[in-house]
Structure 1
């Protein structure tokens, strides 16, 4: 919420009068914006489909409402006869614009089917990427007559399947431009087959040969609440996205830095910061101290934290609570009766506020400071295709608030302030603004900043 220390224009004019001194003292550097559409494109979800009892028409309604841009999918449950067919996914793309990452999913090994159906999706503009096996530690794989993963002693069949998937995609003239995402949970390797690397470097001492190529992006399942971090805490989403050993959840370090089961060495921590990465599952289970309201705040902050900390794509489990199996309830943006939870409402508002599909000709930069910036305050600078900046400033506090001042090096002609927990319309509009104070607690505020002098 806004916290002016004095009433209206008096407060704003006082801040503007001291602006040059304030900006100079802070020695702010210009921040380069990221296209708004790139952030929106990162927002994905895991969903069930007609083979698990969720009608496509209802799925389309939910996808449209929340504003998801991609869906995790694959060949599991896909048949020519249905109820889930390839046409299901083509219709989903046509009606919503979402793209699909196309995976072998749990226990799959049919490369021919994956590639054949992937070509159809690519030709329709519906394909985002290919994904390797889902959690082979939980779902073993049989490939070329050998069993691997699960309780089997070796992951060699999984490694060979992933190597062959990568090579087949890159050898196909239609599919070669599409990225390949790794298997999830390589940190559970029982033997060192090198899946903790995108490509095995020289001297890794893996069972697969040096140079074996597996993926273009590392893939993790960094759920917010984990046995090593089960309790409510400040910065829950921010810490889950941490690429270093400081994160206590099942994150990037434990899968690609030092594997969590057998401690096989992967990338040095310094290299993890720039490792191309995605999350194909994350989220939070409603129950106990995690209320529907906190669940909604967690998931909204999660998309922001993931993108800010280097994840190109993030898919949250789950679109709607599953009704086809036990043990997977109350993760959903939507309840079993298809009504939206707070998480869906908040994301609907955020994606409506940011709404953009174009790309600025050349993303500009904005010289600003957020002061002070305690550990629970974060910011992300976006720019719409029409040139307007969208500065998202958010807090991740369980209680209380942080008061910060956003100061611009040049006065903005107009700023509109949005709160996605309230709605998709501005909560306040200001003109000729050089600085403003915000009180941040547990969710983002979006500042839409317009001024011809701010884009460089």
Structure 2
């Protein structure tokens, strides 16, 4: 798969944001290949789990990216050779991480380079100084920075910021790595002193500990778990988790880059957040019993769709295998590697949309959806053979909604797929200019010739 270039406010991100923009002639599609290239999952090769056990599950899922740490590169290289997956490589040692990234880049297996993972939960040591952690949670938000600076070592996030700064500089000044994107620190919203991690590049007047102009990353990085920080399943669960400006029960973009969730340091405005290049490197849903598997499956498919529709370039589900890496019951596969319903539904989605050639100039489709409640969403894709794939999904916890998709003009054939039912159409219509649908909590795909 060809590497997609990085643009501050353009490229694939802008294409995704513009995918539903109406014009005088219709809605502009996004390449199906671009959407498929956004799908990822977390693996645990670095923690000693057997990468060969991942081969068939990854082939079955059809996702194109994995996220893992930088040790045990033979496993990453093998998975790329066997399944084609690209690797988001993360770590906390700048020299080791960039050296490993070069090896993956030479093999065509590198997707991106990522900085420290959740330093609030896993403090780091950089140049002999500890950074991160949550030891300042007892301080009020208005505590002045000069007082924070006087506190015992290990409470500041300055070492975290300096590590991320140096990683970004090392990548962008490396002839082999400079074209690859750098993902930001995850959970930077937990910073206890205003080191500036709420920015990709610190702007003028930010009054942060590091100087204005300091660059950290090409993409903001959130762990906006669709399950949220409080228990419960509500309408628009995935849609709200993907909202870039929502300050709610989801640990979203706003709390990391708008106004940090721990000490409320100001970052980007809501208008800036809407176009901020961003990725989700962890999201997931727990399913501890067979009864919960269906909910996990539909929510995670909705998550992939909502994230892409709302401008997230890559989304990684946590995690591939049940019980690995302390992930509870969030795995897509059981411990014996049989698929849970989440894996089955994702497989159905990627199989229906399967396409390996990007569409350079996607066309427009003149469609509208009548009677759509706020829980109904849509995403228009186009395959390289010209076929439109119109995904319409509901996020309604109970009940159903009747809608009508008006296609603007008669279409010779429309195939309707249900991602919970399989990879063959549940209905085939001919010579129709509108399609009535009944939506509840999951996705239907209209394949339009």
Whether TM exceeds 0.5 here: the answer is yes
Query: Which residues of structure 1 form unaligned runs of 5+?
Result: 1-25, 79-84, 451-456
* Matching residue of 1:34: 30
Q: Aligned in 2, Cα 1:95/1:389: closer, same or farther, shift over 3 Å?
A: same
- Separation (CA, whole Å) in 2 of partners of 1:368 and 1:165: 46
2:127 aligns with one of 144, 147, 151: 144
1:290, distance to aligned residue in structure 2 (A): 7.7
* Equivalent position SS for 2:36: helix
* Equivalent position SS for 1:239: helix
1:247, distance to aligned residue in structure 2 (A): 3.6
Preserved CA contact (<8 Å) 2:46 2:68? no
* Matching residue of 1:432: 431
* Matching residue of 1:209: 211
Q: Aligned in 2, Cα 1:254/1:324: closer, same or farther, shift over 3 Å?
A: closer
Preserved CA contact (<8 Å) 2:33 2:359? no
1:226, distance to aligned residue in structure 2 (A): 2.8
Matches within 5 A, 1:152-191: 152-191=154-193
* Equivalent position SS for 2:202: coil
2:45 aligns with one of 41, 44, 49: 49
Preserved CA contact (<8 Å) 1:28 1:369? no
Preserved CA contact (<8 Å) 1:259 1:266? yes
Q: Aligned in 2, Cα 1:441/1:122: closer, same or farther, shift over 3 Å?
A: same
* Matching residue of 2:341: 342
Matches within 5 A, 1:22-421: 30-49=26-45, 51-52=47-48, 54-75=49-70, 78=71, 85-104=72-91, 108=92, 110-150=93-133, 151=135, 152-227=154-229, 229-287=230-288, 291-323=292-324, 325=326, 328-421=327-420
1:382, distance to aligned residue in structure 2 (A): 0.2
Q: Aligned in 2, Cα 1:303/1:194: closer, same or farther, shift over 3 Å?
A: same
Preserved CA contact (<8 Å) 1:241 1:247? no
1:246, distance to aligned residue in structure 2 (A): 4.4
- Separation (CA, whole Å) in 1 of partners of 2:394 and 2:294: 15
* Equivalent position SS for 2:423: coil
- Separation (CA, whole Å) in 1 of partners of 2:202 and 2:184: 13
1:230, distance to aligned residue in structure 2 (A): 2.0
* Matching residue of 1:10: none
The alignment's C-alpha RMSD in Å is 1.7
- Separation (CA, whole Å) in 1 of partners of 2:46 and 2:176: 28
- Separation (CA, whole Å) in 2 of partners of 1:324 and 1:253: 27
- Separation (CA, whole Å) in 2 of partners of 1:50 and 1:146: 24
- Separation (CA, whole Å) in 2 of partners of 1:283 and 1:290: 17
- Separation (CA, whole Å) in 2 of partners of 1:246 and 1:29: 36
Moved more, 387-396 or 237-246: 237-246
1:142, distance to aligned residue in structure 2 (A): 0.8
Preserved CA contact (<8 Å) 2:45 2:68? no
- Separation (CA, whole Å) in 2 of partners of 1:154 and 1:398: 43
* Equivalent position SS for 1:280: strand
- Separation (CA, whole Å) in 1 of partners of 2:405 and 2:74: 49
* Equivalent position SS for 2:79: helix
Moved more, 289-298 or 356-365: 289-298
- Separation (CA, whole Å) in 1 of partners of 2:325 and 2:300: 24
* Equivalent position SS for 2:58: helix
* Matching residue of 1:453: none
- Separation (CA, whole Å) in 2 of partners of 1:214 and 1:335: 37
- Separation (CA, whole Å) in 2 of partners of 1:87 and 1:292: 33
State the TM-score, normalizing by the size of structure 2. Answer: 0.88
Larger Rg: 1
- Separation (CA, whole Å) in 2 of partners of 1:166 and 1:50: 22
Query: Which residues of structure 2 form unaligned runs of 5+?
Result: 1-21, 136-153
* Equivalent position SS for 2:90: strand
Preserved CA contact (<8 Å) 1:28 1:368? no
Q: Aligned in 2, Cα 1:50/1:276: closer, same or farther, shift over 3 Å?
A: closer
Preserved CA contact (<8 Å) 2:414 2:448? yes
- Separation (CA, whole Å) in 1 of partners of 2:303 and 2:291: 15
- Separation (CA, whole Å) in 2 of partners of 1:121 and 1:99: 9
